[in-house]
Amino acid sequence: MDKMHWILFLHILMGQCCFFTCRLYEYHFIAENKSWSEAQRYCREKYTDLAKVFDMTDMSRLRNSTQNQGEAWIGLNHNTGGNRTWHWSLPGVEYIQNDSSWNLNGRQNWEPYPGNCGRKRDKLADVSCDSTMWFICYDEMKKDNKTLYLITTPMNWTQAQSYCRYHHIDLASGLDQVDGGELTMMKKKRDPSRAWIGLFRDSWRWSDGSDFSFRYWDMQLFNDTQSNKTCAMTLLNRSGKWSSDECDKEKPFFCYDDKLILIKENKTWEEALDYCRKSHRGLVSITNDYQQRWVEERAKNASSPFVWLDLRYSCTLDLWFWINDKLVCYEKWSKEGKTEDCGRAVGMQSGGQHEWFS
């Protein structure tokens, strides 16, 4: 087979890239009745912590890890007395405060207070989530370089989020999307004057301190202002959707187990691959920014200047690919660090910008 055929074959074999399928942790269902804090203690002792959920794929994996159809605790609880913090709806997009994107007094007189959802006019403003307005969905680029879609049916924020998650990927999230050139172009064609984007704030926190923004509340049962139901559970007989309950109630629960281990030994790439395959699952692959940040945290503990990743260059195919996974969709190369050459593999800097070098 010539090279083009091989590449085609790889595409088919490995499927479309950029799906967040490579997971750095595993779920365990514990069929014992415990209060939320007892459950947390148990998970921290036997595994890593109570379960956290990054996106819908995680939710599906969590549900698939048990046959049970009742209620079970997950690692999310309400930080009573804590302030609400902003999140972007799209999993993996980190919220970074930037005052210059906000119109801090930008709420219109008729827009009700308090506002825990974000809308975009010229700038961002917080308005009440039950207002209804047009909204902007984000999708992967399909045609015409287009990733943002203006939906001109007024909905409240929750409905808008469900719509975007069903028909596209999510509400537009992150300043790159909502302050970027594509939005400016869109507004020139049709100015919505104001529209929902994927910005919301709440005071729910993950047990392990992660800032995962994914929420899967069952809006028929969940009430965010009920002050004494401050621990979150999944209702396995309602598609796994979430509600909250009093934390001292006893229920079964889900733990997660961290699968990312830093091996503090100096080895060649081949030796490292061999070691990880024999003793674990393999070297780590990185398919999104969130995973990059996670690996960065672990890499900081290395005494060597670089840590090996699962990425290698193939001379025959003339491309970089993850050994046990797929094509490269996410990348964080250093400017000078990318040399396409036979026998090259990739290391991440254990310090600094944690960039990749071949």
Residues found near ligand NAG in the complex (CB under 6 A): 31-33, 57, 60-61, 64, 70-71, 82-83, 98, 100-101, 129-130, 144-145, 156, 158-159, 179, 219, 223, 225-228, 237-238, 264-266, 297-298, 301, 303-304
Cα-flanking dihedrals φ and ψ of residue 326, to 5°?
A: -160, -165
**Closer residue to ligand NAG (CB): 152 or 226:** 226
Question: In whole angstroms, what is the distance from residue 122 CA to residue 125 CA?
Answer: 9
Sequence letter at residue 296 = E
> How far lies 128's CA from each of 116, 152, 156, 200, 232, in Å?
6, 19, 9, 10, 23
Query: Shortest Cβ distance from residue 317 to ligand NAG (Å)?
Result: 25
Check residue 240 and give left, alpha or beta (phi > 0: left; psi -120 to 50: alpha): left
CA 315 to chain CA centroid, nearest Å:
33
Query: Shortest Cβ distance from residue 159 to ligand NAG (Å)?
Result: 5
Query: Shortest Cβ distance from residue 280 to ligand NAG (Å)?
Result: 16
C-beta nearest to ligand NAG: residue: 130
* Geometric angle at alpha carbon 151, from 148 and 157, rounded to 5°: 100
**Closer residue to ligand NAG (CB): 6 or 201:** 201
Query: Shortest Cβ distance from residue 32 to ligand NAG (Å)?
Result: 5
**Closer residue to ligand NAG (CB): 3 or 162:** 162
Query: Shortest Cβ distance from residue 316 to ligand NAG (Å)?
Result: 30
| In contact, 197 and 95? CB cutoff 8 Å | no
**Closer residue to ligand NAG (CB): 94 or 318:** 94
**Closer residue to ligand NAG (CB): 37 or 159:** 159
- At which residue do the structure tokens 């046990």 appear? 324
Question: In whole angstroms, what is the distance from residue 260 CA to residue 266 CA?
Answer: 17
